[in-house]
């Protein structure tokens, strides 16, 4: 998705809520506002964007590979790609989500829906300033995307919503793909996507690429 234009990307983000509402497997979706522990509540009102996944490699082998990724800032040598940090917790794409969610604390809201690509549930944890999306593999969940929602959160390199294209290029001097207002950096089987409007960042997404195979 990252290599498609900004128009398709923005449309996809808007359409994501509708996707989760209908679900992929005909199962009932749940949205829990305020407490992930209140999972049995039946407030089925919709959800946030996100929930699809991605990382390079054979999908059948992802559980082993993803399980070896670092989580919560531990085992730093195992972390790959561009890393996201919030509240002292470091998140790598395809890292096991359970320990990360535990360290990040109770989300502002939680959403789940039947996964379109895996057996189980895609999940979205919304925190102040960002969302963490997961995909299921076996009996565990792994990080598929992190979406920065506002300027209260930055990338590790200091870029946030409202940063300019020049600031992005200075912070990330390596090769990138640019198309119709989107700048994409790839590293270790993941993508870091900056959506720009009038040369200003309006959205940032860390994305695994497991669904792009």
DSSP-assigned letters across all residues of 39-105: TT--------S------SS-GGGHHHHHHTS--TT-SGGG--SS-EEETTEEE-TT-BHHHHHHHH-
Q: Per-residue pLDDT for 4 more than 90?
A: no
For residue 6, the tally of other CB atoms under 10 A from its CB is 17
CA nearest neighbour of 50 among 154, 106, 127: 127
pLDDT for the residue 174: 87
Given a contact cutoff of 8 angstroms between Cβ atoms, the answer to whether 3 and 178 are in contact is no
- Which pLDDT does position 157 carry in this prediction? 96
From the centroid of its chain, how far is CA 57?
18
pLDDT tens figures, 172-201: 998 999 888 899 999 998 999 999 999 999
How confident is the model over 53-103, as pLDDT tens digits? Answer: 443 334 444 443 444 433 333 333 357 899 999 999 999 999 999 999 999
Q: Which residues pair with 33 in a beta bridge?
A: 109
Per the confidence metrics, is the pTM higher than 0.85? no
């Amino acid at each position: 998705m990252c290599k498609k234009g900004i128009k398709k990307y923005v449309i996809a983000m808007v359409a994501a809520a509708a996707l989760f509402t209908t679900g992929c497997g005909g199962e009932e979706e749940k949205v829990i506002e305020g407490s992930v522990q209140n999972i049995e509540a039946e407030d089925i009102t919709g959800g946030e964007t996100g929930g699809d996944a991605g990382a390079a490699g054979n999908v059948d082998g992802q559980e082993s590979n993803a399980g070896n990724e670092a989580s919560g800032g531990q085992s730093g040598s195992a972390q790959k790609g561009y890393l996201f940090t919030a509240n002292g917790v470091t998140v790598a794409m395809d890292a096991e989500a359970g320990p990360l969610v535990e360290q990040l604390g109770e989300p502002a809201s939680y959403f789940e829906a039947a996964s379109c690509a895996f057996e189980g549930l895609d999940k979205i944890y919304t925190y102040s300033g960002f969302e963490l999306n997961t995909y299921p593999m076996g009996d565990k969940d792994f990080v598929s995307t992190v979406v920065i929602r506002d300027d209260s959160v930055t990338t590790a390199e200091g870029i946030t919503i409202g940063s300019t294209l020049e600031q992005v290029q200075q912070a990330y001097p390596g090769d990138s793909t640019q198309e119709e207002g989107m700048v994409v950096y790839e590293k270790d089987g993941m993508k870091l996507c900056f959506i720009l409007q009038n040369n200003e960042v309006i959205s940032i997404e860390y994305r695994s690429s497991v669904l792009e195979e």
